[in-house]
Structure 1
């Protein structure tokens, strides 16, 4: 895995530098939100600066949002590997809006080296429900204990069998800053790069554009309202489905194509060569 750019020098880190800090334990105490509603926005950097300033204003009613800080850092490198079947079952079930859909990934927190095996499900209200289990040493999500965990989760929650033919499908790399208030969280992801692990093609998010996700128990948050006031509406976009739509134009990804075109205005030559193959 490549090493992320120095976080302290990145504009995202400077944007949240003046915010009051919160520890990881403090963040989880205020808004762990393993079951939540997510809304995604593609936000210009100038709007992000205003959003952060307003959310972290000491005079904000209810108190300011706080920025996750660990060892003096406020922006952190993330690496994820998504797993899917050769026919992209997870992608297509999300495209079709299937109620019993899921995503499977390994998440790596670059700054600490922590690794998690994560299963993301859809709850009965359309909310996101995340199940996770630590990965240690040379463990991978394809090892028997994690396959057994996946099978148990899907059987218990959905009453379905787990796919047996999973392989690495897509990787993502980005820098993240996280803001938190009671019961709500805002993540800001910059320098997003996504690689198709079956072809090697890569797409990168447009410079100056940040993926902002609001996470709450369901209600519109202050962050949502502030973004709406700037004329920015939720984007039909996920890292996995949006990136695959850009990387493989032959896929029937119309629901994500508009946002993917905004996020990834340039597709590299390798992607263009293989894009005609689903």
Structure 2
């Protein structure tokens, strides 16, 4: 497990109850079958901040056994359908990754350690932006006790950035933000819908935290193409994608002085008025 600024959290509220209800109502799918049918390390992502009531309507439609093409199923591992995630994001002292995303630079990246808390699995991940605007994820397993910024993973980062973008890696990286949340994943052929609730973001440089509205579910649609059935259903409900990522939205909420206008509206909806707590 990461030893960097671990933030304990116990998710609660309507959003958490909602994703558990949706997962329990769906047929199961194993991790092996998910990876076969919808691995999607290269994909298009769209994010939505949904009231729990709207999320449950969406989940009911997607998991309906009568759905044309078959119902979405819930990822199930050892009988569990909701999983605790902990991530540590790494950035330069000047927040290069944050500002590159803010400025819409094509050659931009995010670096993080992801911990699957229920299994203890750890992954070092690099998320890049592809030429078509898609997200491309590169991963390297972290063994017990491994430092995400050790020589091996710095070499993995350097080779990935040189091969993909032709650029050198940042000389200095430090932990900048943690995220903790509960996730349920709904899966159909070529599509995934991740459903997160109980989001807590922590600034590792100041010790401040912000917690997402407990009635909201952060839904991300993931596919190799553009609009999915889930997107179309949500558009029919009057919902549109939010300009929001956990990393950039969390930093925008924790640092109201940062230039982050494109994320400010969604961050206010997710976290409320600037209210970071020590």
Task: Find out whether 1:23 has 2:30 as its counterpart.
Answer: yes
CA distance in 2, matches of 1:45, 1:6: 14
Which residue pairs with 2:84 in the alignment?
77
Give 1:128's match in structure 2, choosing from 135, 144, 167.
Answer: 135
CA contact (8 A) 2:210 2:277 kept: no
SS at match of 1:148: helix
CA contact (8 A) 1:202 1:267 kept: no
Please state how far the C-alpha of 1:6 moved relative to its aligned partner: 7.9
CA distance in 1, matches of 2:11, 2:275: 24
Task: Find out whether 1:119 has 2:126 as its counterpart.
Answer: yes
TM-score (norm 1): 0.94
Deviations 1:107-149 (A, max 9, x none): 0000000000000000010100000000011112110000000
CA distance in 1, matches of 2:219, 2:46: 8
Matches within 5 A, 1:49-64: 49-64=56-71
CA contact (8 A) 2:192 2:222 kept: yes
Runs of at least 4 residues off by over 2 Å: 1-7, 266-271
Superposition RMSD on alpha carbons, in Å?
Answer: 1.5
CA contact (8 A) 1:4 1:77 kept: no
Task: Find out whether 1:198 has 2:205 as its counterpart.
Answer: yes
Task: Find out whether 1:246 has 2:230 as its counterpart.
Answer: no
Unaligned runs of 5+ in 1: 272-278
Give 2:47's match in structure 1, choosing from 40, 45, 49.
Answer: 40
Please state how far the C-alpha of 1:268 moved relative to its aligned partner: 3.6
Counting matched residue pairs gives 270
